[in-house]
């Protein structure tokens, strides 16, 4: 070591040693760099390997050469040029081989490669030393020589191994190691050599002096290194820029690919979207057409084509709206409002009768969309619904609701002096006809009545059916009450005309009530109520007439309500009593029978007569319990009378409607212990009008029991004579109105005569009601009337008076004496 140090310190020019070291380091660095290129750039690998070898070889040689120039033995020195050149070539080849070996795989490759390079270094050195011509003999210290070789190989191997282990760390440290190896090898080898001067050996004079040579070699070596390094750097930057370019290109490609993929998905979803939209469009229930800002068609759907039967050429995108409008409406203008704006919603009637609702919606871009809906059925349905809501289904007349509306309007106008009349019309015998002939005929009658009433009135009047058999007329714009009276009369006349249906001739009549506006008031509901009250009065006074509303009608109605309530209480509390009026048998001169006539012993009003409550009892149905009570009471009373004296009980129609009349009657008879033959039941025509067949069955059952049936109030009804044949009457009671007119008028006498003769022929008894005078009695006796009843014989008397009356008549030879 000392020898080496001493060799460097004493035998070398230290400045050149430093230069040699720098050259060596730069060469090592460049060689590593070139090797690095060789590893990366496989197509040009031989070039880079060659360069690495060249740089290493030349670098080592330059180092050696400059270091040799720094060597200052005291002897003159020269070089053998061919051997020197050989040493360079050997160095280059071995280094190249070393670098080539470094490319092999395996862990041993890098140190082995370094070893080859190290061997190259040593070989170069010793061949180089062989080229040295010095005037002396060189002796070698074999130990140092071996050490020099080992140093060169060891450091070189370490350098390549380090470089291979940490390629990322850069080449500085491996290059330094290699430099240390080269220099260490060189100076150790120099230390191993010692020159023994021998003047016999001649050194040829060199052409160039040592300093210049050193400069030239150094410059050449540096130039070569610079070129090599430059090449590597250039290649690296080229590679970097290529890499960057490649990366950019890759990024671009990626972007393009991604873009393409996105476009693909977008396109796909757009396609899907379009397919969905188009399917949705075509399956819309509404027609749709869309136009651009210049009013040219953009798209449309199938329904649009169907609605307007749009020809092919008008469906083309770009078709101007004017041509389309021409096809649809025969006009080329879009309808606008007063302000000149397009009408957003409208309904059009097409030539084919369809109604289309068109709705226009402006689009943000200036275009617009029109939807087209065929609303023909919808409109027809709503019209029908509106019609149903406003009309009476059966008759087609405006219904109560419509009438109410109109009435309110008229009432409002009446405030300004335009008077009107409200006529309510009730059919007189409709109920009976409906029950007898059935509902289909009843419905036909109601329709016919509607027609007759509608024909009577002017266009501005309104006829309605308020319900059931009740109608009303709103007679508008009338001046005087007489106008309303005239219309009422015309209505009554029109409805009195018989109706003909399926071979039935049906005669009904009508009663009319009238209220006047503004005379009676202006409230629609009030006017209707007043008209109704007037109607009620008309019906109860005499059917087939009209009445105007008058003050007080209201209170009469209220009174009826009170009576109805009182009647319920009367039934609970047993406030009824039966009075009896005798029927005098003219042939035998004795009382054959008493008619039971009910009275109401009212706690406040006193004794109330049947005419004041029977009709109310009949309407409210209360007649059923009352009638039953009277029958049972009459049977009980009659059971106390002599066995040849009968009792007559009046029946109402309502009692027939209840199915248990026969059972109730037998029960009353047996409860009282009265023989059926002693009971007479009086019915009026109104009973017969109901269900003829049913009534006949009931009457036949009663007759079969031995009960006699009498027809009451004969002659006042409607078709009395025809009933005489079809029902099993035992007695006919001629109505008191004929008896009252008997004296002086021939008509009544004729009717009485005919009735007596007819009933005699049919095997019936005749009773004359309401006989009040001797004269009446005389005529009736002359005509052969069998029985009389009336005040002339006796007023109706309480039950406890019957015995006295019987005694008075029953035993007397002159029976025709007026009872007290």
Of 608 and 764, the one with the shorter C-beta distance to ligand C2E is 608
The answer to whether the beta carbons of residues 738 and 779 sit under 8 Å apart is: no
Query: According to the binding rule CB under 6 A, does residue 426 interact with ligand C2E?
Result: no
- Identify which of residues 69 and 597 has a Cβ nearer to ligand C2E in the complex: 597
Handedness of CA 627, 629, 633, 635 (dihedral sign): positive
772 binding ligand C2E? (CB under 6 A):
yes
Task: Single out the residue of 93, 82, 102 nearest to residue 58, CA to CA.
Answer: 93
By CB under 6 A, which span of 170-178, 244-252, 649-657, 760-768 interacts with ligand C2E?
Answer: 649-657
Residues of span 502-531 touching ligand C2E by CB under 6 A = none
Query: Does 767 participate in binding ligand C2E (rule CB under 6 A)?
Result: no
Quote the least distance from Cβ 790 to ligand C2E, whole Å. 3
Quote the DSSP letter at residue 341. Answer: P
The residues in 783-812 that bind ligand C2E, with binding defined as CB under 6 A, are 789-791, 796
Q: In what helix (H) or strand (E) does residue 512 lie, and over which residues does it extend? A: strand 510-517
> What is the DSSP annotation of 454-500?
HHHS-TTSEEEEEETTEEEEEEES--SHHHHHHHHHHHHHHHHSPEE
Does 466 bind ligand C2E (CB under 6 A)? Our answer is no
Q: Which residues contact 673 (CB under 8 A, 6 or more apart)?
A: 639
Residue 61, token pair as written in the block: 């040689």
Does the footprint of ligand C2E cover residue 712 (CB under 6 A)?
yes
User: Please, which residue, 426 or 769, has the CB nearer to Mg ion?
Assistant: 769
**Closest to ligand C2E by CB, 63 or 720:** 720
Give whichever of 592 and 770 is closer to ligand C2E, judged by the CB atom: 770
Is there a contact between 172 and 162 (Cβ–Cβ < 8 Å)? no
Three-class secondary structure of residue 265 per DSSP: helix
Q: Smallest gap, in angstroms, from Cβ of residue 460 to ligand C2E?
A: 46
How many residues interact with ligand C2E (rule CB under 6 A)?
A: 25
By CB under 6 A, tell whether 637 contacts ligand C2E. no
Q: Which is nearer to ligand C2E, 125 or 539 (CB)?
A: 539
**Does residue 47 interact with ligand C2E by CB under 6 A?**
no
Listed ranges 269-277, 360-368, 439-447, 604-612: which one lies at the site for ligand C2E (CB under 6 A): 604-612
Secondary structure E strands in 160-292:
193-197, 287-291
Shortest spacing between CB 765 and ligand C2E, in angstroms: 16
Q: How far is the CB of 566 from ligand C2E (least distance, A)?
A: 17
**What are the Cα distances from residue 316, in Å, to 73, 300, 320, 389?**
109, 9, 10, 47
Q: How many angstroms separate the Cα of 659 from the Cα of each of 61, 655, 680, 705?
A: 151, 8, 19, 17
For residues 642 and 650, give the distance between their C-alpha atoms in angstroms, rounded to a whole number.
21
Which entry of Mg ion, ligand C2E, none binds 511, CB below 5 to 8 A by partner kind? none
Smallest distance from ligand C2E to CB 795, Å: 7
Shortest separation between residue 769's beta carbon and ligand C2E, angstroms: 6
Question: 671-710 mask for ligand C2E (x: CB under 6 A)?
Answer: -----------x----------------------------
Q: Closest separation between CB of residue 539 and ligand C2E, Å?
A: 18
What is the per-residue binding string for ligand C2E in 717-736, x denoting contact by CB under 6 A?
A: -------------------x
Catalytic residue among 428, 469, 520, 566: 469
| DSSP H/E element including 649 | strand 646-650
Listed residue (638, 564, 641, 592) closest to 767, CA to CA: 592
Q: For residues 183 and 583, which CB has a smaller minimum distance to Mg ion in the complex?
A: 583
d(CA 443, CA 462): 21
Q: What dihedral angle (degrees, nearest 10) is formed by the CA atoms of 244, 249, 251, 255? A: 160
* Closer CB to ligand C2E, 123 or 684, in the complex: 684
Q: Work out whether 582 is an interface residue with ligand C2E (CB under 6 A).
A: no
End-to-end Cα spacing for the chain: 189
Q: Phi/psi zone of residue 464: left (φ > 0), alpha (ψ -120 to 50 degrees), beta?
A: beta
- For residue 209, indicate whether it is catalytic: no
CB of 637 to ligand C2E, least distance (A): 13
Integer Cα distance of 59 and 26 in angstroms: 8
* Interface with ligand C2E, residue 650, by CB under 6 A: yes
Name the minimum Å distance from CB 794 to ligand C2E.
8
For 407-427, the DSSP string reads HHHHHHHHTTT--EEEEEEEE
Cβ closer to Mg ion: 324 or 591?
591
| DSSP secondary structure code for residue 690 in this structure | S
d(CA 368, CA 365): 8
Cis peptide before 518 (omega within 30 of 0): yes
Minimal distance, residue 458 CB to ligand C2E, in Å: 44
Q: Binding to ligand C2E by residue 180, rule CB under 6 A?
A: no
610 binds, among Mg ion, ligand C2E, none (CB under 5 to 8 A by kind): ligand C2E
Contacts with Mg ion by CB under 5 A lie at 650, 682, 712-713, 769
> What is the secondary structure of 380-395 as a DSSP string?
HHHHHHHHHHHB-TTT
Residue among 59, 120, 627, 646 that touches ligand C2E (CB under 6 A): 627
Residue 129: name the closest of 194, 184, 217, 215 by CA: 194
Please say which residue, 392 or 682, places its beta carbon nearer to ligand C2E.
682
Which residues contact ligand C2E by CB under 6 A?
581, 596-598, 609-611, 614, 627, 630, 650-652, 682, 712-713, 736, 769-772, 789-791, 796
Residues labelled catalytic: 469
């Amino acid at each position: 070591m000392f020898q080496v140090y001493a060799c460097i310190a004493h035998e070398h020019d230290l400045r050149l040693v430093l230069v040699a070291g720098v050259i060596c380091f730069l060469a090592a660095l460049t060689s590593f760099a070139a090797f690095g290129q060789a590893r990366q750039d496989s197509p040009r690998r031989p070039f880079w390997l060659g360069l690495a070898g060249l740089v290493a070889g030349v670098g080592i040689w330059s180092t050696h050469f400059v270091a040799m120039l720094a060597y200052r033995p005291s002897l003159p020195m020269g070089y053998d040029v061919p051997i020197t050149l050989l040493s360079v070539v050997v160095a280059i080849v071995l280094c190249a081989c070393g670098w080539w070996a470094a490319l092999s795989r395996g862990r041993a490759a890098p140190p082995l490669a370094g070893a080859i390079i190290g061997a190259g270094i040593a070989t170069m050195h010793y061949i180089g030393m062989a080229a040295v011509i010095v005037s002396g003999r060189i002796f070698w210290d074999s130990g140092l020589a071996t050490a020099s070789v080992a140093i060169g190989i060891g450091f070189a191997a370490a350098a390549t191994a380090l470089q291979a282990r940490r390629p990322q760390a850069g080449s500085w440290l491996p290059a330094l190691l290699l430099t240390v190896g080269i220099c260490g090898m060189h100076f150790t080898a120099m230390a191993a050599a010692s020159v023994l001067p021998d003047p016999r050996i001649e050194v040829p004079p060199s052409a160039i002096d040592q300093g210049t040579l050193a400069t030239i070699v150094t410059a050449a070596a540096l130039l070569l290194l610079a070129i090599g390094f430059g090449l590597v750097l250039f290649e690296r930057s080229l590679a970097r820029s290529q890499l960057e370019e490649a990366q950019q290109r890759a990024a671009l490609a990626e972007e393009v690919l991604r873009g393409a993929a996105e476009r693909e998905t977008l396109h796909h979803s757009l396609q899907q979207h379009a397919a969905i939209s188009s399917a949705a469009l075509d399956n819309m229930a509404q027609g749709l057409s869309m136009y651009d800002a210049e009013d040219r068609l953009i798209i449309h759907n199938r329904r649009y084509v169907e609605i307007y039967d749009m020809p092919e050429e008008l469906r083309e995108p770009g078709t101007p709206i004017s041509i389309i409008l021409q096809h649809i409406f025969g006009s080329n203008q879009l309808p606008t409002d007063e302000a000149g704006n397009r009408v957003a919603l409208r309904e059009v009637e097409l030539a084919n009768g369809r109604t289309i609702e068109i709705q226009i919606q402006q689009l943000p871009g200036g275009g617009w969309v029109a939807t087209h809906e065929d609303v023909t059925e919808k409109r027809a349905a709503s019209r029908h619904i509106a019609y149903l809501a406003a009309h009476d289904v059966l008759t087609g007349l405006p219904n109560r609701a419509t009438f109410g509306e109109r009435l309110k309007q008229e009432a409002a106008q009446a405030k300004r002096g335009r008077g009107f009349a409200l006529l309510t019309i009730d059919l007189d015998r409709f109920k009976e006809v409906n029950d007898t002939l059935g509902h289909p005929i009843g419905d036909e009658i109601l329709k016919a009545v509607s027609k007759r009433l509608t024909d009577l009135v002017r266009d501005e009047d309104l006829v309605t059916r308020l319900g059931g058999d009740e109608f009303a007329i709103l007679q508008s714009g009338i001046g005087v009450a007489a106008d309303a009276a005239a219309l009422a009369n015309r209505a009554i006349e029109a409805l009195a005309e018989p109706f003909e249906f399926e071979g039935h001739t049906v005669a009904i009549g009508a009663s009319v009530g009238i209220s006047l506006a503004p005379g009676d008031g202006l409230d629609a509901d009030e006017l209707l109520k007043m008209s109704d009250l007037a109607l009620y009065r008309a019906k109860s006074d005499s059917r087939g007439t009209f009445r105007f509303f008058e003050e007080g009608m209201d209170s009469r109605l209220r009174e009826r309500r009170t009576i109805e309530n009182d009647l319920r209480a009367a039934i609970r509390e047993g406030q009824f009593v039966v009075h009896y009026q005798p029927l005098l048998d003219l042939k035998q001169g004795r009382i054959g029978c008493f008619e039971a006539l009910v009275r109401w012993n009212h706690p406040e009003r006193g004794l109330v007569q049947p005419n004041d409550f029977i009709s109310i009892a009949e309407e409210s149905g209360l007649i059923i319990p009352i009638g039953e009570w009277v029958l049972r009471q009459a049977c009980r009373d009659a059971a106390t009378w002599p066995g040849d004296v009968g009792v007559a009980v009046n029946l109402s129609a309502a009692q027939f409607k209840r199915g248990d009349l026969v059972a109730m009657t037998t029960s009353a008879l047996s409860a009282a212990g009265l023989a059926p033959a002693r009971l007479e039941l009086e019915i009026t025509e109104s009973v017969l009008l109901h269900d003829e067949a049913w009534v006949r069955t009931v009457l036949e059952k009663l007759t079969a029991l031995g009960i006699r049936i009498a027809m009451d109030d004969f002659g006042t009804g409607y078709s009395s004579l025809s009933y005489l044949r079809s029902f099993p009457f035992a007695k006919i009671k001629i109505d008191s109105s004929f008896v009252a007119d008997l004296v002086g008028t021939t008509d009544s006498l004729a009717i009485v005569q005919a009735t007596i003769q007819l009933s005699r022929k049919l095997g019936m008894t005749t009773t004359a009601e309401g006989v009040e005078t001797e004269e009446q009695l005389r005529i009736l006796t002359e005509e052969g009337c069998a029985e009389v009843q009336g005040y002339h014989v006796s007023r109706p008397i309480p039950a406890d008076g019957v015995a006295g009356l019987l005694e008075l008549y029953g035993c007397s030879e002159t029976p025709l004496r007026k009872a007290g």
